């Protein structure tokens, strides 16, 4: 689903050049649930932005669903984001003057789905998040966990191939964080590839594969203990 | 463009920033308001003056007698110039390209006319048939005086609608005899003159007037129309006339007081040019005011875009194309400008309607903003709204989602 080869990315601010990603190789198959870890400033968000076609890269290549992502026009990039990708952010990034349904429905607006239809679909997704009763509420009337579930519903509504989440539990308490992770696992089980950037070990333990970024490349890749026990469990059952 | 959602988005931002939107809109509304008032007033002035001209033929030249102010070949200044039929005949012969030539002899001012037991005070004027065009009168019934009336010194009279109302009420009048100074004249026609004053008249043949009332060949003035002569041609004509009269009446042709020539062609054209000038001036001022409004709107929209950076970033991240973002900002700008401008337009037109009945005068009638002005103003508004939104919209489209979404 995702294929990165020798990816380089630098930020240039004034006369300074900050080399963040230094020849990164990474392959993620369809349906994987992956977490990205690494110290602050190691380039996790940078990587996620490249994957989300929100930012360009300097060298190497990035293939999404076997299509090379380079030199895209803004319009083309917007279309890929709209159809292939879903985003979940640490600070939710809901639109403050829109209620929950309208927020969830917004990606469909940019697909040209009419208002009635997209609001109906949005309501279904909110229902799946257990937020049906909150549909008409504005973001500032909701808790962090609820807001993040609205954001997740919004990321899912366009049936993307990949969901990219940058510290989705960063602003949530541990109980809510675990609930959100369960939600991600559930979504992942429908075949959607999910990549989660996180600082927290217990969050990453909920994923199947943990990627560590160090010095601008993949430092180590671990199959999570959870995945191992799951695999062992399935062997036992055979 | 007509997607409800888009409009709702726009309305929701407008609603969230009422004061700011109001202040922005106000400058545009004010600009349009001023433009309408100025254009309307200009139009009022134009209507008034045009109406003044329409009382007479706009291509007419009027010659009046005066008094010499310069010595000429031993003759002392202060001599009165008198016109006679000879001047009429000479003019008819000498001046090329004239039509509707008429001399005029005012017999009585406000003299009593009577028909049976009805009486009224009116002006009695002896003229040639050309006066019909010169005075720009409208024949309602019957006919105006003709050459046969003149040649046969016929006691015929054309009466105005006012005269008819006073003497005949609703009774038939054509072929009836009215008494002018106790002499019966047959009514041959009914006319109407748009000038209040000129509608207080009856016209009789100048020859009859001389024969019956003045007993000589004197006339008071001569007038004619010049066809479609240009200003230059009419002024050359004016010079010819002056020279010809100077020779006949023995005065210096540079003596401006011996002969007065009122050249309507020249004056009318002058006024037309003046009004074109005024109109242009008004547009310049009005457009200046509107430009100030546009700059205001543009500035506000820039601030709006800056405040909405994050929102626009979110939209882009979930698939908004640059084009849809431009549409969003541009439409908001057009909406504010259009609505505010419309308010200004309505207020401006309303004010004109309100005051217009109270300020009617000879040189100022019907100040109005006509349909054409309203259409131009509307086009101007949409255009300026788009213009005002253009820079902010482009800025919005260039917002990078990663920068907009970075947590500070
Ligand atoms: N737009 C930018 N311009 C310049 N430098 C940037 C930009 N974005 C990130 N950086 C720098 O690049 C480096 C990597 O940033 P990045 O946001 O990818 O780190 P991160 O791994 O996500 O860190 P954190 O865990 O704190 O979120 C940092 O040193 C950061 O200061
Ligand atoms: Mg980060």
Contact B267, B60 (CB under 8 A): no
Look at residue A18 and give its three-state secondary structure: strand
Confidence band for A238, pLDDT divided at 50, 70 and 90: low
Q: What is the mean pLDDT of chain B?
A: 85
Which among A55, A75, A107 is the nearest to B321, CB-wise?
Answer: A75
Residue A146 pLDDT greater than 90, yes or no: yes
Å from A90 to nearest chain B CA?
Answer: 9
Å from B402 to nearest chain A CA?
Answer: 6
Residue of B nearest to A119 (CA): B5
Residues in contact with ligand 1 by the CB-under-6-Å rule are A 11, 13, 18, 20, 38, 40-46
Residues A119 and A170 in one domain: no
Residues from B contacting A (CB-CB < 8 Å) are 3-5, 12-13, 16, 310-311, 313-324, 400-402, 405, 407
Lowest mean pLDDT among A103-107, B101-105, B152-156, B361-365: B361-365
Residue A105 pLDDT greater than 70, yes or no: yes
Its ipTM equals: 0.91
DSSP letter for A58, please. S
The per-residue pLDDT for B204 is 94
Which atom of ligand 1 is nearest the CA belonging to A197?
Answer: 22
Residues A170 and A156 in one domain: no
Which among B3, B402, B407 is the nearest to A90, CB-wise?
Answer: B407
Confidence band for B1, pLDDT divided at 50, 70 and 90: very low
Lowest mean pLDDT among A103-117, B120-134, B286-300, B369-383: B369-383
| Distance from residue A163's CA to the centre of ligand 2 (Å) | 16
Say if strands B83-84 and B156-160 run parallel, antiparallel, or are unpaired.
unpaired
Residue B13 pLDDT greater than 60, yes or no: yes
Residues A61 and A167 in one domain: yes
Lowest mean pLDDT among A44-48, A78-82, B193-197: B193-197
Residues A51 and A125 in one domain: no
φ/ψ of B229, rounded to 5, equals: -65, 145
Å from B317 to nearest chain A CA?
Answer: 7
Q: Which residue lies with its CA nearest to atom 16 of ligand 1?
A: A43
Confidence band for B229, pLDDT divided at 50, 70 and 90: confident
Q: Inter-chain contact A110–B5, Cβ cutoff 8 Å?
A: no
CA dist., res. A45 & res. B198, Å (int): 91
Å from A221 to nearest chain B CA?
Answer: 27
Q: Which residue lies with its CA nearest to atom 7 of ligand 1?
A: A11
Lowest mean pLDDT among A169-183, B25-39, B42-56: B42-56
Q: Which of A92, A126, A160 is the endpoint of a domain?
A: A160
Q: Which structural domain, as residue segments, surrounds residue A61?
A: 1-71+162-238
| Distance from residue B56's CA to the centre of ligand 1 (Å) | 85
φ/ψ of A32, rounded to 5, equals: -80, 155
Residues from A contacting B (CB-CB < 8 Å) are 49, 52, 54-55, 74-75, 78-79, 81-83, 87, 89-91, 93-98, 106-107, 109-111, 115, 154, 158
**Residues in B touching A109 (Cβ below 8 Å):** 5
Residues A171 and A148 in one domain: no
Residues A166 and A238 in one domain: yes
pLDDT in tens, A147-166: 999 999 999 999 999 999 99
Which atom of ligand 1 is nearest the CA belonging to A49?
Answer: 18
Residues A115 and A82 in one domain: yes
Q: Which residue lies with its CA nearest to atom 10 of ligand 1?
A: A11
Contact A194, A188 (CB under 8 A): yes
Residues A81 and A156 in one domain: yes
In chain A, the number of structural domains is 2
Contact B290, B378 (CB under 8 A): no
Which atom of ligand 1 is nearest the CA belonging to B403?
Answer: 1
How many C-alpha atoms does B204 have within 13 Å on its Cβ side?
Answer: 32
The per-residue pLDDT for B369 is 67
**Residues in B touching A89 (Cβ below 8 Å):** 405
Q: Write the CA distances from B231 to A134, B64, B192, B270, integer angstroms.
A: 81, 20, 29, 9
**Residues in A touching B323 (Cβ below 8 Å):** 75
Residues A94 and A171 in one domain: no
Which atom of ligand 1 is nearest the CA belonging to A213?
Answer: 21
| Distance from residue A186's CA to the centre of ligand 2 (Å) | 25
Residue B2 pLDDT greater than 70, yes or no: no
pLDDT in tens, B63-100: 999 999 888 888 888 889 999 999 999 888 887 777 88
Residues A143 and A167 in one domain: no
Q: Which of A160, A194, A225 is the endpoint of a domain?
A: A160
Q: Which of A160, A183, A200 is the endpoint of a domain?
A: A160
**Residues in A touching B324 (Cβ below 8 Å):** 110
* A101: CATH: 3.40.50.300
Q: Inter-chain contact A83–B319, Cβ cutoff 8 Å?
A: yes
Which atom of ligand 1 is nearest the CA belonging to A47?
Answer: 18
- Residue at token pair 């001399």: B103
Residues A130 and A230 in one domain: no
Q: Write the CA distances from B347 to A128, B33, B35, B48, integer angstroms.
A: 54, 7, 11, 23
Residues A34 and A101 in one domain: no
């Amino acid at each position: 689903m995702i294929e990165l080869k020798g990816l380089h990315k630098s930020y240039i601010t004034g006369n300074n050049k900050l080399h963040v990603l230094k020849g990164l190789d990474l392959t993620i198959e369809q349906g994987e649930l992956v977490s990205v870890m690494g110290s602050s400033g190691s380039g996790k968000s940078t990587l996620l932005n490249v994957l989300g076609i929100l930012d360009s890269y300097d060298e190497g290549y990035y293939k999404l669903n076997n299509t090379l992502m380079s030199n895209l026009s803004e319009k083309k990039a917007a279309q890929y984001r709209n159809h292939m990708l879903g985003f979940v952010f640490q600070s939710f990034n809901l639109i403050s003057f829109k209620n929950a349904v309208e927020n969830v429905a917004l990606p469909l607006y940019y697909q040209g789905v009419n208002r009635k239809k997209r609001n109906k679909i949005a309501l279904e997704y909110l229902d799946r998040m257990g937020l049906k009763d909150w549909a008409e509420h504005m973001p500032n009337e909701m808790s962090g966990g609820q807001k993040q579930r609205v954001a997740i519903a919004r990321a899912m509504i366009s049936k993307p191939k990949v969901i990219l989440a940058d510290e989705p539990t960063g602003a949530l308490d541990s109980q809510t964080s675990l609930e959100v992770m369960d939600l991600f696992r559930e979504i992942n089980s429908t075949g959607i590839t999910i990549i989660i950037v996180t600082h927290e070990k217990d969050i990453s333990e909920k994923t199947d594969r943990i990627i560590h970024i160090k010095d601008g490349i993949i430092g180590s890749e671990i199959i999570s203990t959870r995945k191992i026990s799951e695999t062992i469990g399935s062997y036992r059952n055979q | 463009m007509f997607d409800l959602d888009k409009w709702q988005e726009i309305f929701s931002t407008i609603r969230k920033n009422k004061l700011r939107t109001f202040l922005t809109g106000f400058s545009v509304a004010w600009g349009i308001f001023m433009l309408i008032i100025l254009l309307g007033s200009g139009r009022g002035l134009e209507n008034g003056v045009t109406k003044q001209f329409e009382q007479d033929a706009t291509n007419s030249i009027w010659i009046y007698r005066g008094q010499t102010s310069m010595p000429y070949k031993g003759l002392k200044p202060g001599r009165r110039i008198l016109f006679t039929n000879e001047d009429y005949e000479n003019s008819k012969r000498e001046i090329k390209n004239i039509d509707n030539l008429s001399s005029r002899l005012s017999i009585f001012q406000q003299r009593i006319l009577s028909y049976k037991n009805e009486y009224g005070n009116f002006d009695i004027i002896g003229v040639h048939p050309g006066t019909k065009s010169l005075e720009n009168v409208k024949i309602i019934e019957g006919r105006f005086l003709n050459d046969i009336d003149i040649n046969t010194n016929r006691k015929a009279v054309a009466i105005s609608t006012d005269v008819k109302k006073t003497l005949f009420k609703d009774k038939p009048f054509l072929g009836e005899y009215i008494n002018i100074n106790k002499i019966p004249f047959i009514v041959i026609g009914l006319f109407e003159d748009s000038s209040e004053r000129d509608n207080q008249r009856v016209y009789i043949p100048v020859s009859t007037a001389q024969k019956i009332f003045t007993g000589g060949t004197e006339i008071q003035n001569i007038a004619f129309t010049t066809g479609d002569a240009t200003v230059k041609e009419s002024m050359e004509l004016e010079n010819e006339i002056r020279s010809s009269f100077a020779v006949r009446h023995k005065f210096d042709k540079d003596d401006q007081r011996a002969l007065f020539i009122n050249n309507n062609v020249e004056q009318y054209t002058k006024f037309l040019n003046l009004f074109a000038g005024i109109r242009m001036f008004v547009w310049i001022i009005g457009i200046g005011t509107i430009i100030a409004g546009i700059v205001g709107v543009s500035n506000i929209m820039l601030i709006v875009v800056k405040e909405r950076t994050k929102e626009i970033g979110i939209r882009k991240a979930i698939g908004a194309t640059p084009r849809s973002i431009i549409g969003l900002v541009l439409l908001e700008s057009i909406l504010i400008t259009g609505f505010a401008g419309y308010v200004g337009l309505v207020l401006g037109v309303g004010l004109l309607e309100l005051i217009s009945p109270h300020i009617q005068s000879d040189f100022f009638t019907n100040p109005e903003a006509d349909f054409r002005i309203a259409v131009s103003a509307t086009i101007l508004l949409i255009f300026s709204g788009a213009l005002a939104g253009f820079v902010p919209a482009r800025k919005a489209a260039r917002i990078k989602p990663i920068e907009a979404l970075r947590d500070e």
